[in-house]
Structure 1
Amino acid sequence: MQLIDIGLNLTHDSFDRDRDAVWQRARDAGVTRAILTGASREHSPKALELARTRPGEWFATAGVHPHHATEYTEECDAELRALHAHAEVVAVGECGLDYFRDFSPRPAQRRAFERQLQIAADLAVDGVGKPLFLHQRDAHADFMAMMRNFDGRLGPAVVHCFTGTREELFDCLDQDWHIGITGWLCDERRGAHLRELVKHIPANRLMVETDAPYLLPRTLKPMPKDRRNEPAFLPHIVEELARDRSEDITATAANSMTTAATFFRLPA
């Protein structure tokens, strides 16, 4: 079984002490490639820098998360566009809207999101925009409206770490977007509803991710002492996902890997 972790925050400082060991554990567990999330002006270039140290295994995204939307300036826009000139940067984002925490004012979030949607549209290859790595929490109506403003100009999109309602899921699927599932699925307090919803995601639209070091699966046994999530725990998420979808785990793993490789246009 081989897997691609499509959402790994490997630039996080909790990995500074043992990043190579973390990846070796992931490889031993069958995670052979990863998309390193760039979510701010500081961490997007770091994601690219890391990706270039393991060609063919690590790739990067470049974007500004809604939590950091106030840092989105003209200079930031130029920096992101420069990052996207590198082949290792395979998606625009993490970008979107987050009205749950409102760490940035909502107007600033919408401005930053719109600018990044424009980057994705501008970077079209053969008429297809660059893939989008999206974040949405408690902002579904505005999120959908802003995406619709770019109808016909965007390439493939994945709603990363999907945690929403049935209605939100089907709104996304109706737009042909992809869905990223994390260890939120394993959280009986917040993610129980996903157990039923994941059955409705077509295999060619479903991808898996840890969002490490965040979202440690609560069903993992034994729990790591430091409570840090790692890409090596991705097979545990896939096992639970396969069970909820009434699939053989090898089929769930193979489908998610094929879908991710196609979505991010990864080299063979």
Structure 2
Amino acid sequence: MPAVGAPTCPVRAGQRREARRSAGSASSLRRARCRRAGSRRAAQLGHHRRRLAHWPGRAPLPAHRAARGGRVARRGAGRRPDAQCQLAGGRHLTRRAAPARVPGLVDSHCHLQHPAFDHDRVEVIERAREAGIVRIVVPGWDLPSSEAALELSDRFPELIQAAVGVHPHHVAEADEPTWARVEELAVDPRVVAIGEIGLDFFRNLSPHDVQRAAFARQLDLARRVGKPVLVHDREAHGEIISALLAWVEPAAPPVAPPGVLHCFSGDAAMAATLAGRGFLVSFALPLSFKSATGPRAAAADLPATAILVETDAPWLGPGADRRNEPITALRVAAELGRLRETSPEAIAAAARSNLDRLLGLESRTG
């Protein structure tokens, strides 16, 4: 080591300066690469947001979420208006793989007519078949989607069953010609249920009084045509219970079972009350979240004759920015099996029996 104050070797000093310049150049290169990668990612997310913005019923993303790119599979601000289920905020409790195939499984609620499936709908359906799925109920959320559900049931009659109805987010847009056409569709023998109908007091995209009137109107329609209902309930548990009990109380239920609580987000007491009046309770992937304490308790306690499996695809996918599809029903069946200490195959058999009973398809073996 040179003495303090001794002159520095010019050769070594030059070498150090050159090393610093090289390190600085490398850092600059890394920063430039990161900037380019960030620009590409931002462009990809921008394209993704623009594509999602054209989906029917899609609300615009707020600025704070647009900056992050938005997500398809989760609910809340900027999520699809016709979304049913309040997602739990926790992580999945289990990461164990779902079985590759569960023979006889059903998906009791899946929006296969959605544009998210336009580029590969047939492949999605084939994957579902290969995984063992034998029934898919496709509900409408407005008049065009209800008509599209019927078209799908015509194309795949052995697999797809259509339901028609106007979702609470869209009832403010429904005029009398719309209601008249929905009533025409409801009497079609190809239509197996009235749905998706109900109340949504979370997003409030339709005034509450308009939602209540439309829900009552569609419950009355279901009674007149003798078909079950597929019920949307978000932040409206008390009113949903009251409306459904009033609907089935005046006499015998209009049909048995009278309907389904789609993507159940209530508690065990609510599930028991409505199951006691013949309603089925349907569970989706949010069942596997830590904070879904009410649905998890209900899933464990309900009799096997009251449970259904669904995906609500293309929403409620297994990961951020991932489109959902019917094969996710295998994961739901596996989670239900863990909660009920039984096998996915036993869940599939119970759910299929319950869905066939709901839709009057007991004699079909498809």
Distance (whole Å) between structure 2 residues aligned to residue 197 and residue 217 of structure 1: 22
Count how many residue pairs are aligned between Structure 1 and Structure 2.
256
Aligned residue number for residue 327 of structure 2: 232
Aligned residue number for residue 54 of structure 2: none
Aligned residue number for residue 115 of structure 1: 217
Aligned residue number for residue 216 of structure 1: 317
Percent identity reads 36
Cα displacement string for residues 206-256 of structure 1 (whole angstroms, at most 9, x for unaligned residues): 1110100111135xxxx8xx5011101211110111011011221111111
Distance (whole Å) between structure 2 residues aligned to residue 91 and residue 262 of structure 1: 12
Structure with the higher strand share, 1 or 2? 1
2:295 maps to 1:194:
yes
**Structure 1 contact 184–217 (Cα < 8 Å) conserved:** no
Aligned residue number for residue 271 of structure 2: 169
Q: 1:41 aligns with which of 143, 156, 159?
A: 143
**Structure 2 contact 187–225 (Cα < 8 Å) conserved:** no
Structure 2, gaps ≥5 residues long: 1-102
**SS state of the match for residue 8, structure 1?**
coil
Distance (whole Å) between structure 1 residues aligned to residue 331 and residue 236 of structure 2: 30
**SS state of the match for residue 234, structure 1?**
helix
Cα displacement string for residues 30-52 of structure 1 (whole angstroms, at most 9, x for unaligned residues): 11221111111221111111111
Aligned residue number for residue 154 of structure 1: 254
Structure 1, gaps ≥5 residues long: 125-129
Measured after TM superposition, the shift of residue 192 of structure 1 is 4.2
**Structure 1 contact 97–139 (Cα < 8 Å) conserved:** yes
Distance (whole Å) between structure 1 residues aligned to residue 243 and residue 349 of structure 2: 33
Q: 1:142 aligns with which of 229, 232, 239?
A: 239
Distance (whole Å) between structure 1 residues aligned to residue 293 and residue 263 of structure 2: 14
Aligned residue number for residue 206 of structure 1: 307
RMSD of equivalent CA atoms: 1.6
Q: Which has the larger radius of gyration?
A: 2
Aligned residue number for residue 127 of structure 1: none
Q: 1:5 aligns with which of 85, 107, 110?
A: 107
Aligned residue number for residue 64 of structure 1: 166
Distance (whole Å) between structure 2 residues aligned to residue 31 and residue 217 of structure 1: 18
Aligned residue number for residue 132 of structure 1: 229
**SS state of the match for residue 140, structure 2?**
coil
TM-score by length of structure 1 reads 0.90
**SS state of the match for residue 239, structure 1?**
helix
Distance (whole Å) between structure 1 residues aligned to residue 148 and residue 236 of structure 2: 28
Cα displacement string for residues 168-196 of structure 1 (whole angstroms, at most 9, x for unaligned residues): 222222322110111111223x4244333
**SS state of the match for residue 236, structure 1?**
helix
Give the letter for the 1:203 counterpart: A
Aligned residue number for residue 47 of structure 2: none
Aligned residue number for residue 190 of structure 2: 88
